[in-house]
Amino acid sequence: MTPAAIVGVAETQFSRTSDLTDEELMIDAVRLALHDAGLAKHEVGGLAVGTMTLKDDSPHIAEHFGLELDWSLKSDFGGASGLVGLMRAKEAIEAGVTDVIVVVSGGNRADQPELLHDVMFAPNDYGHRSWILPYGYGGANTFFGLIQQRYMHEYGLTLDQLGKIAVTFRENAQLNENALLKEPLTVEQYKNSRLISDPIRRNDCVMRCAGASAIVIANDALRDRWNHHAVYMGRYATRMAYQTTEESPSRIETGFVSIAEQLFTDVAREDLDFLQLYDDYPIAIVKTLEDLGFAARGAGGQFIERTDISRAGTLPINTGGGLLSVGQPAIAGGFIPIVEAVRQLRHEAGPRQLAKADVGLVTGIGLISYLNNLVVTSAAVMSRESNR
Amino acid sequence: MNKPTPSPVHWDRAFWDAAARGVLTVQRCTECGHRQHYPRPACGVCLSRDRTWEELSGEGTVYSHTVVRQPVNPAFREEAPYIFVDVLLAEGVRIVSVLLGAEPGDVAIGDPVRVTFRPAGQVDLPYFVLAP
């Protein structure tokens, strides 16, 4: 079996707002990613669309994009849609279903009603409709407020520890031309930012924005075709609906606990050159590090405090600024860690290129559980070599 | 602007019927005894659709809490800030709700609370208050 290789990535110019619809933004990203790969549109045999807003089925989205396909997928895993879509695409290529798949997502700010005529947003429709929205839900901030409050009660966590995460990512964003938040941030500013959903503060939250991202994954047998060094997925795993049959599941433990061991059988944690982690909140970084086994349970804050997570450090995290400083173009936010990993592994990350970037880890997390933490936790080792 | 209200379906209607009598209930599987909230179309453990509703004391403690300062829906803006609570009920199951009659800063994890009901559209929605 020839492995599937990631051969093209692209982001549109992210912006605070846009006049374009989700589909228009996605089409721009598809063109850019195919150009990056050096492949033609007629060679595309599969399309995965990461979206929680487009009502359309994936075959009709393919029709809108002018793509005649062997394979399509509507990847509706929230923030994990990019990474899980990429996993499903890799499996389809390696099963011989088709040779070239584009994984795409894009979106506009969800609060522009004139652009919402063709979209919806209804994760966990029944649960939200009867059990959450009637109480005056404050969005993901509400559940992350519950998560962080419980975490601080059980284990303790300082604002300096959380602030270090936000500040480090902001420093990285200053070298990322597509990051929207570049003004310098200090730990003091982080600590003094206003409360949004206690203990979640303004600087814990991502800024919604407009934009799209696309990734091209293809059969490695076509390897003489690409424009760039290919990137390969090593061990990867996803857990969905963790602890869903518990009568009182943990609000703070995530499904990463159940996939951690299988991820690091070929590449050990200490051999990773970087982590690109889905960072909708700094507390999500803390929990990801703990539950994937980088830090002991309850010790994520101390781990951050004593570890240099900057680009020059022992464990660089979110070298392009993460969602926290780039912005969140809807579900394409989940592509930010993937695109940054690919650029680092190609050694094409420009001024923010790491000195060593041969193998790294990417995560995608998505959707929030009524009683537990995240509904989807996914992670993949990515490498310059196809055998890791 | 209208606030969203629960939309009962045939398999959760017994919850709302009990709520109208001022009683908090939890879905319980008659085959394996598993309890779950929010209600589901079948038992999450054994997939039996044969369920009953266990009456609860309505008493519990705060498992976690947060202050909603920026509601997504403008219909709630006048009421903000208000307190979302994740309540561990005495019987061991949990429910997400809003704590009434308390200010941010009044509530801590572990504080005792008890249920109260308020009309919401065609049903009575369970809320909580700090227990004396």
* Residues B98-107 pLDDT 10s: 999 999 999 9
**Chain B residues inside the 8 Å CB shell of A140:** none
Measure in Å the smallest separation between the Cα of B132 and chain A Cα atoms: 23
A149 touches chain B (CB under 8 A): yes
Please write the tens of the pLDDT for every residue from A33-47: 999 999 999 999 999
Residue A161 has pLDDT above 70, yes or no: yes
Q: Which of A107, A110, A123, A48 is nearest to A82 (CA)?
A: A48
Asked if A323 and A278 touch (Cβ cutoff 8 Å), the reply is yes
Average pLDDT for residues A187-216, to the nearest whole number?
A: 96
Confidence of residue A83 (pLDDT cuts 50, 70, 90): very high
Q: Which of A130, A196, A245 is nearest residue B7 as measured by Cβ atoms? A: A130
Confidence of residue A237 (pLDDT cuts 50, 70, 90): very high
- For residue A270, what are the contacts with CB-CB under 8 A and spacing of at least 6? none
Please write the tens of the pLDDT for every residue from A281-305: 999 999 999 999 999 999 999 999 9
Confidence of residue A316 (pLDDT cuts 50, 70, 90): very high
A196 touches chain B (CB under 8 A): yes
Average pLDDT for residues B58-78, to the nearest whole number?
A: 94
A121 touches chain B (CB under 8 A): no
- Can you tell me the distance from the alpha carbon of A350 to that of A11, in angstroms, rounded to the nearest whole number? 15
**Chain A residues inside the 8 Å CB shell of B104:** 198
A247 touches chain B (CB under 8 A): yes
Confidence of residue A114 (pLDDT cuts 50, 70, 90): very low
Measure in Å the smallest separation between the Cα of B103 and chain A Cα atoms: 13
Q: Which of B7, B84, B94 is nearest residue A129 as measured by Cβ atoms? A: B7
Please write the tens of the pLDDT for every residue from B16-49: 999 999 999 999 999 999 999 999 999 999 999 9
Q: What is the pTM of this model?
A: 0.96
Residue A118 has pLDDT above 70, yes or no: no
The yes/no answer to whether this complex scores an ipTM above 0.95 is yes
To test the contact with chain A by mutation, choose from B48, B62, B84 the residue with the greatest count of A C-beta atoms within 10 A, namely B84
Mean pLDDT score across all residues of chain B: 96
Q: Do A247 and B109 touch (CB under 8 A)?
A: no
Asked if A278 and A365 touch (Cβ cutoff 8 Å), the reply is yes
What is the SS3 assignment for chain B?
CCCCCCCCCCCCHHHHHHHHCCCCEEEEECCCCCEECCCCCCCCCCCCCCEEEEECCCEEEEEEEEEECCCCCHHHHHHCCEEEEEEEECCCCEEEEEEECCCCCCCCCCCEEEEEEEEECCEEEEEEEECC
Q: Do B5 and A134 touch (CB under 8 A)?
A: yes
Confidence of residue B1 (pLDDT cuts 50, 70, 90): low
- Cis amide bond preceding B81, omega within 30: yes
Residue B112 has pLDDT above 70, yes or no: yes
To test the contact with chain B by mutation, choose from A109, A147, A149 the residue with the greatest count of B C-beta atoms within 10 A, namely A149
User: What does the angle CA A194 – CA A199 – CA A204 come to, to the nearest 5 degrees?
Assistant: 65
Q: Do B86 and A146 touch (CB under 8 A)?
A: yes
Confidence of residue B2 (pLDDT cuts 50, 70, 90): confident
Residue A79 has pLDDT above 90, yes or no: yes
Q: Over pLDDT 70: what percentage of chain A?
A: 96
- The phi, psi pair for A228, rounded to 5°, reads -135, 170
Per-residue pLDDT at A131: 95
Least reliable range by pLDDT among A248-257, A266-275, A379-388: A379-388
Per-residue pLDDT at A122: 61
Other CB atoms closer than 10 Å to residue A305's CB: what's the count?
12
Q: Which of B96, B115, B40, B89 is nearest to A131 (CA)?
A: B96
Confidence of residue B93 (pLDDT cuts 50, 70, 90): very high
